[in-house]
Chains A and B, each alone.
Chain A
Amino acid sequence: MAELAAVPTVGGVAEDRIAVATQWQLIWWRFRKHKLAVGGTIVLVLFYIVALFADFFAYVDPTESEAQRSLMAPQPIHWMDEGSFRPHVYALKGTRDPLTFKRVYVPDTTRKIPVTFFGHGEPWLLLGFIPTDRHLIALEGAKPSEALFLLGTDTHGRDLWSRLMYATRTSMTIGLVSVALSLVLGVVLGGISGYFGGPIDTAIQRVIEILRSIPTIPLWMGLAAALPADWSVVQVYFAITIIISLIGWTELARVVRGRFISLKQEDFVMAAELLGCSKSRIIFRHMVPSFISHIIAATTLAIPAIIISETSLSFLGLGLRPPAISWGVLLQDAQNIQALVISPWLLFPSIAVIVAVLAFNFMGDGIRDAADPYL
């Protein structure tokens, strides 16, 4: 890392290449040297792979409950068997200790169940239409729901690993539309405000101020209760994120407006104006591209904010609710003392949240630094 600090702008690329490189190539070269950003991007790709193929990474139905498997600690895969590589798990027997009231599970070491990779399990549809039954992990001679518990189980006895896979799908995707919508609104309204100025600007600025003044939690509570009751939990949540995006554009709009105001003074804009370019051409051909990087960065930073607020709202019982499966819903089970003391593995989803949020932030930072080092 030391040599990175020594190279101020474009690390390790020959001068002549820089001269002929396009803007995107330059961004990419600069981005590459931001190690945290690259790491973050790789992690995000992995997360979205999980989101896309959650059924493959999960090995059981995430809703299948069985009280006799309630609150089971993560069970290890035993890799070696009598000196050779033969991954297996043991069958388990559970009871409730009548004195401590905890569930107690004892492995039956006489019953080894072989673990296979890319084996057969429950059928699912690849990309929604190709039927298959391959899973990352499977068991031979037993249903995975009965013996495989990589991350333990929740109160219902549902497998936490499989739930986490499906939760990743929900949480990594549900905010995207909302972010996109905020983005469009922010750019358009901020642009109008900054480019035209005058009464339009004042009006838009007042609207922004009003919207920023309303705390979000009351808004969520009101909306969550006011949307049609026959919508499913996911529909309601999706609708709310959309409505929130109608409020969430203000931050970006302020930034875009500021950029427009300063860009208006720039020579290249004036030149375009003198050449008789239309307003829309000036805005979309000349001005927007000059801060597109900032918009991308703002987007990558808005997604983790949605992820975090999803978990917080689930905490309040306002966001996604069971039976939907999301990180927030999983963490709802972990937000109490008994989870911390008796079943700390229920906190695993928080690691997914933290990693995803960090990854988005690092990637966003990297993009911004790379595209616009002077911002």
Chain B
Amino acid sequence: MLAYIVRRLLLAVMTVWAISVLSFMIIHLPPGDYVTSYIASMSASGSAVSEGEAQALRQQLGLDQPITIQYLKWMGLMLQGNFGMAMEWGRPVSDVIGDRLTLTMVISVAAIIFTWGIALPIGIYSAVYPYSFLDYVFTFIGFIGLAIPGFLLALVVMYVGFAWFGANVGGLFSPDFAEAPWSLEKIWDLTKHLPIPAIVLGVAGTAQLIRIMRSNLLDELRKPYVMTARARGLSEYRVVMRYPVRVALNPFVSTIGYLLPYVVSGSIIVSLVLSLPTVGPLLLKALIAQDMFLAGTIILLLGVMTVIGTFISDLLLMWVDPRIRFGRE
């Protein structure tokens, strides 16, 4: 058991290293560099960067060195716990990401709660009453969320919120609180702004969950112990909720580990449209600007989250289901 965990940990470290190489390569795939993008963005906003300035910038940022050297430098920095400077932001990468990481987590968790809150009851209902009218209706509604492109839904919701309900346009805080230090009022303000992004982000995932919950539970409900329970006169509610639902939830437990990175990387576009101060738009802008340390660190962070998530999931699975452990060894 311990040996297995140690081996898995070693493998995880290897995986993270491979991800760091891959992410660095991805960032360097497009031609040009941060300075090219800087010149272009200045030109687009009606300003100028001279050739001399451009060269100086490249030199200062070390962009004139070969990619392998740049990678090694990045690695060296990271081993010291320094993720480099975010070029566009003029701040250490860890600061830039740190600001947004908390809010990203808050939104992601809110979205996950929304998804589960909607999908599990529907899934249970659909499994208990399969092929019923409401099964179709709920399933249909659940799937609509999957079918609407997220960016469109976000834009429409934002516009409707403004035009019909006078809501603040985008963001997570009202203008009064954006700058204020953390306080109860600010948290309340955040809570009021959370539902729209949580719903827009959450709906895309409901269909998948409904589907899994429904089939798992259907499977479980056909088992003899359920019949026994019914035969012994337990209430239908207890028959369903007591064991079958719990067993059907097992696979979810095993995926909990990488739910978060999945939601974070899936939320990039929606966060951009809704102007949410999360990691998603940051990544996108960093990629466009070829701000390599910032983009690289975010990609790596998501990768590490996935690796850790998978690791946790595997451990959970092992704990839940010893067959898997034996299967491996």
Contacts and interface: CB of A to CB of B under 8 A. Distances in A.
Interface stretch (A41-49, A139-147, A158-166, A350-358): A350-358
A210 B287 contact: no
B92 interface: no
A226 B302 contact: no
A215 B140 CA distance: 29
B283 A214 contact: no
Nearest to B310: A209
Contacts of B30: 221-222, 224-226
Contacts of A225: 29-31
B196 to A, nearest CB: 16
Given A315-B269, A331-B152, A353-B149, A209 B29 contact: no
Interface string A299-317: 0000010001001100110
Interface string B148-162: 111110011001000
A331 B149 contact: yes
Interface in B233-283: 258, 261, 265, 268-269, 283
Interface string B130-147: 111100100110011011
Interface string A192-228: 0000000000100010011011111111011111100
Given A36-B136, A215-B265, A340 B310 contact: no
B87 interface: no
B23 A312 contact: no
A361 B235 CA distance: 35
Contact of B268 (A4, A36, A217, A373): A217
Contacts of B26: 214, 218-219, 222
Contacts of B130: 5
A34 B159 CA distance: 37
Chain B contact-residue range equals 35 or more
B155 A335 contact: yes
Contacts of A312: 149-151, 269
B61 interface: no
B201 interface: no
A374 interface: yes
> A213, A261, A311 — which one has the most chain B CB atoms within 10 A of its CB?
A213
Nearest to B258: A212
Interface string B26-42: 11111100000000000
Nearest to A347: B152
A214 B265 CA distance: 9
Interface string A346-375: 010010011101100110010000000111
A253 interface: no
B327 interface: yes
Interface of B: 11, 14-15, 18-19, 22-23, 25-31, 129-133, 136, 139-140, 143-144, 146-152, 155-156, 159, 207, 211, 215, 218-219, 222, 258, 261, 265, 268-269, 283-284, 287-288, 295, 299, 302-304, 306-307, 310, 327
21 contacts: A1-B131, A2-B132, A33-B131, A36-B140, A206-B15, A209-B306, A217-B265, A217-B268, A218-B283, A222-B26, A222-B27, A225-B31, A226-B31, A304-B147, A311-B152, A312-B150, A331-B152, A335-B152, A337-B155, A350-B149, A361-B147
